[in-house]
Amino acid sequence: MKIKGIAVLAFIAATLFAASMVWAGSIVIKGSTTVLPIAQKTAEVYMKQNPDVKISISGGGSGNGMKALIDGSTDIADSSRFIKGKEVSLAVEKGVYPVPFAVAYDCIVPVVHPSNPIVNITMAQLKDIYMGKVKNWKDIDGPDQPVVVISRDTSSGTYEVWNKKVMKKERVFPGALLQASNGAVSQAVAKNKNAIGYIGLGYVNKDVKGLMVNRIAGSAETTLNGTYPISRPLFMFTPGWPKGDVLNFINFVINPEKGQKYVAEAGYVPLY
Amino acid sequence: MSPKKQTGKGRRNREKIIRFFFFGVALASITTLFLIALFLFVEGVPIFKVVSVSDFVFGKYWYPTDDPAAFGIFPLIIASIAVTLVSSVISIPLGVLTALYLAEGASAGVREWVKPIVELLAALPSVVIGFFGMVIVAPVLQEILNIPTGLNLFNASLMLAFMSIPTICSLSEDAIFGVPVELKEASLALGATHWETIARVIFPASISGICTAVILGMSRAMGETMVVLMVAGGAAMIPTSLFEPVRPMPASIAAEMAEAPFHSDHYYALFATAIVLFLFTLAFNVIAEQISHRYRQVGAATL
């Protein structure tokens, strides 16, 4: 009897707790794992400043975010790409009008060991290197030493950009080394004079040398004016023009004094 | 005698309660293991709707996020086997010989110093060993051997050997210590030297325990994650030399699981990889158990 009583009490308490979460302002965010760090950081700070608002965030990929947006199970869909035509028509059919907000830019820089004399590389050369066609740096006017290709785990957003912008549907060859984070790639490149890797702009430091791509150096400026080729905008989509807490949160994220500071901290390029 | 008889029933009941308590504790860990295995299978098996078991196990390409995706873990299985074998080539002689020395050769003073140090190796967190391999061993290997990268099969095996030596050494030492002293004394009494006694009597008598130690050490090397993730290089291809980068199964799971969309094919494929890994380590443990049962040295009479 006693145990049953406790179980019932616990159940009631849990229900009340859950209900109170719903009654307070709550925002559901789903979608791209690339945007996830931005959403997490900004949401953390936002919730600290607005304790009555609860934000729940999950990844799942841009496609899943869009799906959730269309069927109404999320307030904000994170996406590392613009919405597709098919998704727009699906949404409109259900009476949802997706509104995009660019929240940051992602800029990926190829890096080599500081002792490597190469300063510029073309998109075609990058692709050949990552397909395993270029095996020696001298093939692209570098020193006579083997190329060690370092790539990211296939589920990362950084890999996704690289795959799309540089590889253009070709596969990174299986001989490429795998590192599981931007930091690990930078570490591995810093320790190996033969290596080439790619990392988010925010992770480039003095231990590695960032290369110019097609004679354009990756920076916040070249990303924002669109000249740097390996970059893309990141979005948050809302179903219809946002209202209430969702509007406040979006405003917080795109405010240069508030959310955008954390965008840079997460290793991305802020909007301004 | 009489007070015991009076409380006989109470004592038996208490005995029963204690036995049930221990049964429950034992059951809890068994249940946990069973649930973990069940969970692995529930989350891993759906991938076989997408690829066949043989394409999964023998497929040569691992491109889980491509469209269409390729889920072949053969290079990962080969990598796991390769690092385990190479590391045991290093760790078995070192571990077993250290154990023999500690049990038979070393003076009590040396033993008191060396044994805790060897066991301290086991206490080193794997991320520390991995970091050591990545930051210190890799550049040195690359420099000395003039190879493209120091993050490779050999480096990973070396680090794994560090990790399995304490297991192999302390379990082997227990086995050697367990050899009945009568055997040793009989051998010495027959005129054999200490060395002959070690080689012909003590070592054969403890061989089953040493085998168990070796296999448990190998299973530790195969399941180790952090070291291979940091040091093995991570290229998903079948290695053709000792100095090529490889990607063992645990490294692949650890690197990709965090961002694989929940209940996607990629997620299922990673769990299926974990099933394969689980079957490997299970096989190791079953073999170790078999050996220690079959060749157990019972008393001094069976040699």
Half-sphere exposure of B135 (CA within 13 A, CB side): 9
Q: Provide the pairing of β-strand B62-63 with A120-121.
A: unpaired
Residues of chain B neighbouring A178 (CB-CB closer than 8 A): 233-236, 247, 251, 255
* Distance from C-alpha of B200 to C-alpha of B299, rounded to nearest angstrom: 17
Query: Hey, are the CB atoms on B229 and A176 less than 8 Å from each other?
Result: no
pLDDT of residue A20: 45
Looking at residue A235, what DSSP letter applies?
A: E
Chain A residues in contact with B234 (beta carbon < 8 A):
177-179
Torsion over CA: A211, A216, A217, A220 (sign): negative
Number of other CB atoms surrounding residue B25 within 10 Å: 10
Nearest CA in chain A to B153: A177
- Decide if A154 and B233 are in contact by the 8 Å CB cutoff: no
Q: Average pLDDT of A106-123?
A: 93
- Smallest Cβ distance to B234: which of A33, A178, A194? A178
- Interface contact B62-A174, CB threshold 8 A: yes
As a whole number, the mean pLDDT across chain A is: 86
- Over its C-alpha atoms, chain B yields an Rg (Å, rounded) of 24
Q: What percent of chain A has pLDDT over 70?
A: 91
Q: What pLDDT does residue B136 have?
A: 92
Residue type, A199: I
pLDDT reported for residue B263: 76
**Residue A140 per-residue DSSP state:** G
A248 touches chain B (CB under 8 A): no
Kindly compute the dihedral angle of the four CA atoms of residues B233, B253, B259, B155, in this order, to the nearest 10 degrees. -20
d(CA A225, nearest CA chain B) in Å: 30
Q: For residue A172, what is the nearest residue in chain B, using CA coordinates?
A: B63
B61 at the A interface (CB within 8 A)? yes
Separation in Å, CA of B148 to nearest CA in chain A: 6
Residue B7: its pLDDT value, please? 66
List of chain B residues with pLDDT < 50: 1-2, 303
Q: What is the pLDDT of residues A183-228, one digit of tens each?
A: 889 988 998 999 999 998 888 889 999 999 999 998 888 998 889 9
Beta carbons of A146 and B148 less than 8 Å apart? yes
pLDDT of residue A24: 57
In order of their start, the domains of chain A are 22-104+234-265 (3.40.190.10), 106-224 (3.40.190.10)
Question: What is the C-alpha separation between B96 and B105, in angstroms, rounded?
Answer: 13
Q: How far is B158 from chain A (nearest CA, A)?
A: 18
Best residue in B134, B149, B252 to probe A by mutation, most A CBs within 10 Å? B149
A137 inside 8 A of chain B by CB: no
Contact B255 A194 (CB under 8 A): no
Are the CB atoms for B134 and B64 separated by under 8 Å?
no
What tens digit of pLDDT does each residue of A64-101 get? 888 889 888 899 999 888 888 888 888 899 899 999 99
Q: Is B248 on the interface with A (CB under 8 A)?
A: no
pLDDT at A62: 79
Size of interface A-B (CB pairs under 8 A): 83
Q: Which of helix, strand or coil describes residue A215?
A: coil
B216 CB near a chain A CB, below 8 Å?
Answer: no
pLDDT tens-digit map of A37-50: 899 899 999 999 99
- pLDDT confidence of residue A5: 55
Contact check, Cβ <8 Å, B65/A159? yes
Per-residue pLDDT, B1: 47
Buried residues in A193-206 as b, exposed as e (16+ CB within 10 A): bbbbbbbbbbbbee
pTM: 0.77
pLDDT computed for residue B160 by the predictor: 94
Interface contact A188-B134, CB threshold 8 A: yes
pLDDT tens across A12-70, in order?
555 545 444 444 578 999 888 778 889 989 999 999 999 999 999 887 777 788 888 98
**CA torsion angle for B244, B90, B207, B288 (degrees, to 10)?**
-40
The percentage of chain A sitting over the pLDDT mark of 90, rounded to a whole number, equals 43
Contact A178 B61 (CB under 8 A): no
Structure token pair of residue A132: 């395993």
CATH class of the region B53-302:
mainly alpha
3-state secondary structure chain B: CHHHHHCHHHHHHHHHHHHHHHHHHHHHHHHHHHHHHHHHHHHHHHHHHCCCHHHHHHCCCEECCCCCCEECCHHHHHHHHHHHHHHHHHHHHHHHHHHHHHHHHCCHHHHHHHHHHHHHHHHCCHHHHHHHHHHHHHHHHHHHHCCCCCCCHHHHHHHHHHHHHHHHHHHHHHHHHCCCHHHHHHHHHCCCCHHHHHHHHHHHHCHHHHHHHHHHHHHHHHHCCHHHHHHCECCCCCCCCCCCCECCHHHHHHHHHCCCCCCCHHHHHHHHHHHHHHHHHHHHHHHHHHHHHHCCCCCCCCC
Highest mean pLDDT range out of A126-130, A160-164, B259-263, B296-300? A126-130
At B256 the pLDDT is 84
Q: Are B235 and A176 in contact (CB under 8 A)?
A: yes
Give, in degrees to the nearest 5, the angle at Cα B30 between B29 and B35: 95
Q: What is the pLDDT of residue A16?
A: 47
Q: How remote is the C-alpha of B293 from its chain's centroid? A: 19
Largest CA distance in chain B: 84
Q: Is B21 exposed, middle or buried (0-12, 13-18, 19+ CB in 10 A)?
A: exposed
Chain-chain contact of A60 with B262 (C-beta, under 8 angstroms):
yes
The DSSP secondary-structure symbol of A175 reads: T
Set of chain B residues whose Cβ sits within 8 Å of the Cβ of A159 = 65
Q: Contact, B250 vs B229, CB < 8 A? A: yes
